Structure 1
Amino acid sequence: MTRICAGFVALAATALLAHLAAPCQGQEASQPDFPPLDKVVEGFEKVNSDINQTPSLYTIWVKKPEARILAGLPRNYESQKYFIAATPSGGSVFAGLQGPDYYVYWKPFDKRLALIVPNTAIRSSGDAESKSSVKRLFTDQVLLDTPILTNQPGSGPVIDLTAVLNELTAKMGGGRALLGAGGGPFNTRLASITKLKAFPQNIEVTIEAPGPNGSFASMSYSISLVPDNPAYTPRKADERLGYFTTEYDDYGLYKIDNSDTKVRYINRWHLEKADPSLKVSPPKQPIVFYIEHTTPIRYRRWVREGALMWNKAFEKVGFANAIEVYYQDAATGAHMEKDPEDVRYNFLRWLNNNVSTAIGPSRAHPLTGQILDADIVLTDGWIRAFFNQFEDQLPRMALEGMAPEAIDWLDAHPDWDPRVRLAPPSKRNQVLARIAQARANRLAHAAHGRDHDHDHLHLHELEALGLPADDNFAHLFRTAGRHRLCMAADCKAMNVALFKMHFELLQAMNDDSKEADDEDKDKENEKPKEKKDEPKSELETLIDGMPEPFIGPLLADLVAHEVGHTLGLRHNFKASSIYSFKEINSEKIKGKKPFTASVMDYNPIIISMDAFEKKPDAVQGDYAMIGIGPYDEWAIEYGYTLENDLKKVTDRVADSMLPFGTDQDVGGLDPSVQRYDFGKEPLEYADNQMRLAQFHRRHLIEKFVKDGQSWSKALKGYNMTLSMHSTALFTNLPWIGGAYVARDKKGDPNARPPITVVPADLQRKSLAFVIENAFQDSAFGLTPEILARLTDETQFGSGFGSSNEFTVHDRIIGIQASVLTRLLNPVTLRRIYDNEFRVPADQDALTLPELMETLTKAIWSECDKAPTEPTTARKPLISSLRRNLQREHLERMIDLSLPGSDRSAASKPISDLATAQLKAIKGRVEPLMAGEARAKVDPYSASHLDETLDRINKVLNAQVIYNANKVGGQPSAAPIILLGDDHR
């Protein structure tokens, strides 16, 4: 077999060489000369460089009526490397967001030029032999090829640049993901060139054409020279803090202590001191941002302030004013000659698209990690936010922090899936279809080898966020630096919606208070005293109906977050864990220091209920971050210090003020790495948010909905409180079965163990909080008075037949079912089981039996004793909400008791414990369904409990049959499990 294969390869190689050596059929061996240059460019207009007539990067000719561009390459083009960067610049809600870029070079093949992407992923720094082998095995990739039209005298070839750019657009899927124009190619017959500029280092082109749906869309291309920078020294990445990285495999490495071939450089700007003798010097070339003229004037200073926050960190490493920010202004013409798509300029762009998005992408040199260009996109939608859509937000919060393994498991157990359970019943089939498609996309992604660590945009995260888990959507957020999807603006939208609701209620209560005061004065026949001029409250200076001291710092915080990304920093979702909620709302912190370790977290706003209720010594802390945090300064020190000894920086890893956990850590063991949590003590913030939700529910009808307003506002308000309520629940669930994770290395000062199990007492408190606020009817604040007013406006609703009812049972059981999913899915249960083994036997630990028994007792508490008086359908023994919850719990125990529900080593203990809980439930229910006790049970509760016993008996009998069919300790080929038709 080996000889046959070898012979085949030899014959194939001989045939290929013969084919390459022979001239093409009907073609002379010597190629004819190219046509003269003047003939090729006839009818074209030459475009001169915009800078002092200096020759441009390429010689450019244009024929605008045909939307055609020719480019003449320089003589040394074969030795040059280029970036070709695409940016959608019009006709899309995401216009301005950096698109794909290509690091390329040109190579001639007879009468054609190939645009080639060099292999940067696998290299060798070893001996000559390894370098030769790597070069032979891991070759460059042809992106496209194009005919050479002619040669310039004394210079390089001439090509049709329009054809090249059109082919690049086609390779991006017709730009459909970037432009939202649907699948298929652009209509190039109706294309026009809207911008064409030539510079010594770059060429800027914008082409507008109708997309497949007929809407005009613009794509801007920047072709720029990427020269080598010998002055720049790449810096190795360190897992103890978070930078985006440029990475490759070095197959020339042979390490005794480490077989890893991966080399990672952090992405960072090249900063040098203008005067190295100074301790603090301006940089030779500062990082300059321009605020786009589309940014509303009322917000510009806050955008600028957010960007400049970082100068504090740079000054500590020796750079004064490392970041400079200038306003582009249409009225004065300031900086209007600069194009945001031009790679020479970094812009803070503002899009009026009513979408809650902000993203800080950058482009880095693929060999060194040096950042070359950055454009931040801010949108207006998050500022407009008032009420988040319940249907969109709740499934995302329910899945927030779930491990990818758990999401995989949910694909096979849709009845457990919060995306299904929290969807309206009429839309569940659509959700199921979307989940199935997302799973197919994910499997295809993995099958093609694209699910690697270096691709930070995991499709699992898109699913967890309720977003389309496909490559088209991912294109919107995937950039040269492979930045992870950033939902910071969406978090800010939730903050704005919450604050607007709270602020509006405060205004209504203040108005009522003033009216009451006036009425009291009238009754006493007192003349109103003349009011003295009093300083305005900080909440009286409004921008777009919101207090400027609230919305301004919130915007600055968002900008600082995105600028942090463009400086190379990744998310830090552990940053909010350095202070307790009480400390945050104290004079010690307020106005003096940021309340979290980093702006790279999704930091929520603060509304202190203690301060609102005017409790003694209570303080309302800062609503938003007032500057970058200590972790941010530490990270900048690592990335930008000019000192060679970085050990002095990383030695601080165990400092409690410098916690770090990024996107890949969300859903892992460490519960302090979450997006929407807050504070060192999780229950403090959760309790505050629950009290805030309850306060708003109490005033929903009387104060929140004003005279003349639709009662649909009550439904929106209630859903907002339900969002707060659910967020408090879901951010507490990861503490159950959790463990703190530290990145300290052996030998670091004060090094911590990599894994420390969360104290059992804290896990129990979190469990008790969840049980109290998820499983008790009173937790949801639903009264007949509120339910009678929870309606929607159908005339301008989602379409014909839209329902205006609040489906109370579906909504509540959706949340409760999602909580049970988070507590009882196999990944959580396995972690609890593993943690038991991590904790010494003589120390306290939360165990699986304790968790399951606690849940059973809490959920089936009505069955603990028989009623003393008969219950009725109107006043049942077990309420309708609790019957739903008990049925849901029963289903979970049945699923877990069945063989094959999970394949981990913990599956058998979990199955046995679930079976024990079924027996325990049976033991609770049977006395109620026998003798005189049964006569006092109402029809609803009795039928529910009858069904419960019937289901349990079938499962237990089925397990007996299953075990009887085992052969030699293993199940036979066809074990019999009879559950009946009523099992979902």
Structure 2
Amino acid sequence: MGKSYSNKIIAGVICCVLFTSCSLLQKNTGRPQTTASFEIKTDPYYQPKKKSFFENLLKQGTANKGLCNIYKKDDRFYFEIPDSLFEKDILVVNRIARAAAQVRPDHEYAGYGADQIGENVIQFYKGTNNKIFIKKIDYSGSRAADSSDNGMFRAVSNSNLSPIMAAFDIKGYGPDSSSVLVDMTDYINNDNELFFFSGQQKRLYSLGGLQNDKSYVQGVSSFPQNIEIKTVKTFSNGNSGMAQSMPYLTYELNTSMVLLPKIPMKARPVDERVGYFGRGYVDFDIPHPQGFNGTWLVTRWRLEPKEEDLEKYYRGELVEPKKPIVYYIDPATPKKWVPYLIQGVNAWQKAFEKAGFKNAIYALEAPLNDPEWSLEDSRHSAIVYKASWVQNASGPNVNDPRTGEILETHINWYHNITEILHDWYFIQASPSDTAARKMILSDSLMGKLITFVCSHEVGHTLGLAHNFASSATVPVDSLRSKNWVDSNGICPSIMDYARFNYVAQPEDCMTEQELIPRIGAYDEWAIDWGYRWLPPMKNAAAEKEYLNQWVIKKLEDSALLYAYSGSSCQAEDLGDDAVKAGKYGIKNLKQILPELLNWAKLPDENYDAASKMEDQLMYQYKRYLSHVSQSIGGRYLTPKTVEQKGNVVDYADRSKQKAAVNFLQEELFKTPGWLFNKQLYAATGGAGYMDVLNIQKDVLNEIMSPRIINRMIYLQALQPSKAYTPNQFFTDLETGIWSELTANKPVDLYRRNLQKAYVAQLLSLQDGIESAQGNSYAADLGMIDLLSVLKAHKAQLVKKIDSALATCKDEETKWHLADIAGRIKSSSATGSQNSTRPGSNNAFNQQSLQGAMRDEIPTLEQKMQAKQTNCWGRMDQEK
């Protein structure tokens, strides 16, 4: 997409309000949107006091002018609040500036400098009895702006009164009575949830009571749009395990009070076909036959052309925005990584050019020796380097709850992410890249990996959610084509978890360029959709119709697919065929394993490095198996509007599911002897038989689940010619897992373990249904074919075992088969009483039963909540 695309789109496109957010601006009748923010008015009998205190303060105190003029006298802090600031929304963001030692909650993800610990919207307003109040505003609930006779403004106002959180006496008035003076010292010195740790964060950090004698205010600074408050707070240690050795916990905290924009950014409602995070609320203004609608607004930066450049922009020429998106690199970052982090940010410039902006986003090193620059200052976005063993990074943002406008971000960059990057690249790319065959990668190679992760996290801070469906749009064979990958990358979206090109084989001669992900076609489209500045159309309905047609047209390119759920939405995968990709991946693992003692070694060290990389190899092997398992009973969801062709819901056909079962038989159930390397085992202990058995058990539990089998039954009823029936599924499983019975061969140790695991899962399925008395979901499962199929296959298996026992000569095989036959017969005789028998997986619970019967399409609310849960975009490794 270039100028030619822009010229076609610009004239009619409007990428702002689809349907619900028109109430934000277009229905405004002069009153603000109701969140109960404006219902209490100034006391009409309110009379200014004498100005003597104020005048004396002006003469004797020190002043800092800004959003509020701040005066300090005798260690007291006075805020001069102008009348223009009353009843205006102020976003309060609380952060740790310097953290207490050895306090790292949330599995070491929290407790670092620049961590956010609270966020609130407040308003100052004048109350009665010469009081100034602080009120807390909640924009996540109900809203209404329409105050017409048919509007809901009054009704919503009556049911959403905002709480008063603090009250202050007026100490004086400005010279022209257009401002008031309040003493904020005690409020800042004490503890409160508005300015410091929220209650939830206190529990997370195990904080007890505030120690006033060990706490103080470092300073208060006022700027034109914000106020920065720096404090030192000491709390008693609520962690009984640590309290004896460390009775107190001290934090340096930073509180940012940011005036939200006077003119809210024009909001853009979420479109399910483009992956953005959102802010949700209930909008009572949206036209609806009956009831009301929930609304989600995408989170994005306010990116606008300059007034003098509008005509150029509309002609399709690239223009610079009024205010670019700027990230600063934490001065604590090791210097060798700074250029690569900058590259990770700047890589997004090309995507913003698709939306018509040049130089829209870039990174800078933080200024040195600048007293007015602070990492915690709400005016600055930053990549914050954290001295931590955590192998991760995350990209949160702070946004305007009224519209979703992103105001700033502090990307969390944990020091030890380099370890997980090394491990991933070693296991997935070392057959193709000789530079990966070592435990310490070169700074140049590690820098490229850092750039990749940085771009991913920056994407989150631009509002983009994960798009795990993106990698499934790429033909597997294309991943082996050097020319194709060089042109397109290994995945259309860097917001997927497509780590490195594990499909590529050594003979493909791939370079790092073709092995490492980069910003792709979907990312550029998502930025275009979210950030293109478009002139208003005649009404919201026209906007909605045009935007829908725009998205439909763009999605003719399958590389631009976004999906929120379904079997195609998998992390860590590559390609449109999990079986083919998995075979290539395992082929590469087979090349790595014999070389681990050579590649994974450190001078003058023991074999821990080799042992660790052996574990990583096992994790990767398990991922390939899991990717394929998703095809069995696979369900695919593609979000669409009614104007689009094709199904929203589709299922894997018989051939795809049979291919997946055959893959598992070949690569897992037929004992993977390649994993047992005697030389490696002698040095590390190696992958023993229990490691293989545990993987086999996990996969059996995954594919022999009531949810998967119920999908098979559903498709059998819906499309019999396409369906892979439960009977066919169990027959195919048994044919491979119990092949020794028909061949009259001894069963070796590994296969005996596998067969016991299979029977345990089979019995667990039956036990779970029959033992869940009174559970409506279990009753439903008992009424469909699932239980009948299980019982039939148990009976068939017993017949095969009894027949094999009659001619079996291997003693251990006879013991094994007799044991298995006894377990199955016992379960048939005693029924659900055996639900706790040894060897049963006990995989059933109410949640799994409910999931088996309710396989519905998630609502928009559920989809957005799932996104928000992972809104930090952690790069967690899934093991």
TM-score bucket (shorter structure): 0.7 to 0.9
Matches within 5 A, 1:56-455: 56-61=67-72, 69-91=77-99, 93-107=111-125, 108=127, 110=129, 113-120=132-139, 121-126=141-146, 127-128=148-149, 130-142=151-163, 144-148=165-169, 150-153=171-174, 154=177, 155-161=179-185, 163-164=187-188, 166-169=190-193, 177=201, 181-211=205-235, 212=237, 213=246, 214-229=248-263, 232-256=265-289, 261-274=293-306, 275-278=309-312, 279-330=317-368, 333=369, 337-385=372-420
My pick for the range that moved more, 112-121 or 550-559, is 112-121
Q: Secondary structure of 1:167's match?
A: coil
CA distance in 2, matches of 1:926, 1:63: 94
Q: CA 1:600–1:864 in 2, change beyond 3 Å: closer, same or farther?
A: same
Match for 2:63 among 48, 53, 77? 48
Aligned to 2:586: 690
CA distance in 2, matches of 1:626, 1:836: 39
Query: TM-score, structure 1 length as denominator?
Result: 0.69
Encode CA deviations 1:866-889: one digit per residue, 9 max, x unaligned.
35xxxxxxxxx3333322222221
Q: Does 1:593 align with 2:488?
A: yes
Q: CA deviation at 1:697?
A: 2.1
Encode CA deviations 1:651-670: one digit per residue, 9 max, x unaligned.
222321101124xx2xxxx2
Q: CA deviation at 1:368?
A: 1.8
Aligned to 2:751: 882
Aligned to 2:624: 728
Match for 1:576 among 471, 474, 487? 471
Q: Is the 8 A contact 1:270 1:370 kept in 2?
A: yes
Aligned to 2:826: 954
Q: Secondary structure of 2:363's match?
A: strand
Matches within 5 A, 1:481-520: 492=421, 494-496=423-425, 498=427
The one-letter amino acid of 2:778's match is R
Encode CA deviations 1:282-334: one digit per residue, 9 max, x unaligned.
1111122222222222222221122122221222222121113221254xx4x
The one-letter amino acid of 1:206's match is K
Match for 2:458 among 539, 563, 579? 563
Aligned to 1:776: 670
Q: Secondary structure of 1:756's match?
A: strand
Encode CA deviations 1:379-436: one digit per residue, 9 max, x unaligned.
2211134xxxxxxxxxxxxxxxxxxxxxxxxxxxxxxxxxxxxxxxxxxxxxxxxxxx
Q: Is the 8 A contact 2:195 2:255 kept in 1?
A: no
The one-letter amino acid of 1:364's match is N
Aligned to 1:941: 813
Aligned to 2:728: 850
Q: Secondary structure of 2:562's match?
A: coil
Q: CA 1:157–1:909 in 2, change beyond 3 Å: closer, same or farther?
A: farther
Aligned to 1:757: 651
Q: Is the 8 A contact 1:585 1:621 kept in 2?
A: no
Q: CA 1:201–1:714 in 2, change beyond 3 Å: closer, same or farther?
A: closer
Q: Secondary structure of 1:599's match?
A: coil
Q: CA deviation at 1:760?
A: 2.5
Q: Does 1:640 align with 2:673?
A: no
Q: Is the 8 A contact 1:598 1:632 kept in 2?
A: yes
CA distance in 2, matches of 1:838, 1:306: 48
Q: CA deviation at 1:730?
A: 1.3
CA distance in 2, matches of 1:904, 1:173: 48
Q: CA deviation at 1:143?
A: 6.1
CA distance in 2, matches of 1:852, 1:60: 78
Q: Is the 8 A contact 1:700 1:714 kept in 2?
A: yes
The one-letter amino acid of 1:679's match is G
Q: CA deviation at 1:506?
A: 6.9
Q: Does 1:699 align with 2:589?
A: no
CA distance in 2, matches of 1:498, 1:40: 71
Q: Is the 8 A contact 2:388 2:415 kept in 1?
A: yes
Q: CA 1:147–1:704 in 2, change beyond 3 Å: closer, same or farther?
A: closer
The one-letter amino acid of 2:303's match is L
Matches within 5 A, 1:886-901: 886-898=755-767, 899-900=770-771
Encode CA deviations 1:50-71: one digit per residue, 9 max, x unaligned.
xxxx44425243766xxx6443
Q: CA deviation at 1:680?
A: 2.0
CA distance in 2, matches of 1:313, 1:505: 32
Q: Is the 8 A contact 1:686 1:729 kept in 2?
A: yes
Q: Is the 8 A contact 1:40 1:150 kept in 2?
A: no
Aligned to 1:928: 804
Q: Secondary structure of 1:184's match?
A: strand
Aligned to 2:558: 656
Q: Is the 8 A contact 1:118 1:140 kept in 2?
A: no
Q: CA deviation at 1:248?
A: 1.9
CA distance in 1, matches of 2:202, 2:362: 30
Q: CA 1:725–1:140 in 2, change beyond 3 Å: closer, same or farther?
A: same
Q: CA deviation at 1:141?
A: 3.1
Q: CA deviation at 1:82?
A: 0.7
Encode CA deviations 1:825-875: one digit per residue, 9 max, x unaligned.
211222222233343x3x3332211111222222222222435xxxxxxxx
Q: Does 1:824 align with 2:704?
A: yes
CA distance in 1, matches of 2:563, 2:99: 37
| C-alpha RMSD of the superposition | 3.5
CA distance in 2, matches of 1:499, 1:319: 36
Q: Is the 8 A contact 2:489 2:514 kept in 1?
A: no
Q: Is the 8 A contact 2:504 2:510 kept in 1?
A: no
Q: Is the 8 A contact 2:281 2:294 kept in 1?
A: yes
CA distance in 1, matches of 2:170, 2:468: 54
Q: Is the 8 A contact 1:291 1:328 kept in 2?
A: yes
CA distance in 1, matches of 2:484, 2:286: 49
Encode CA deviations 1:689-710: one digit per residue, 9 max, x unaligned.
2122222222334664578542
Aligned to 2:25: none
Query: TM-score, structure 2 length as denominator?
Result: 0.77
Unmatched 5+ stretches in structure 2: 1-44, 101-110, 238-245, 536-545, 841-879
Aligned to 2:7: none
CA distance in 1, matches of 2:416, 2:655: 42
- Which structure has more relative contact order (CA 8 Å, sep 6+)? It is 2
Q: CA 1:208–1:62 in 2, change beyond 3 Å: closer, same or farther?
A: farther
CA distance in 1, matches of 2:501, 2:656: 23
Q: CA deviation at 1:958?
A: 2.5
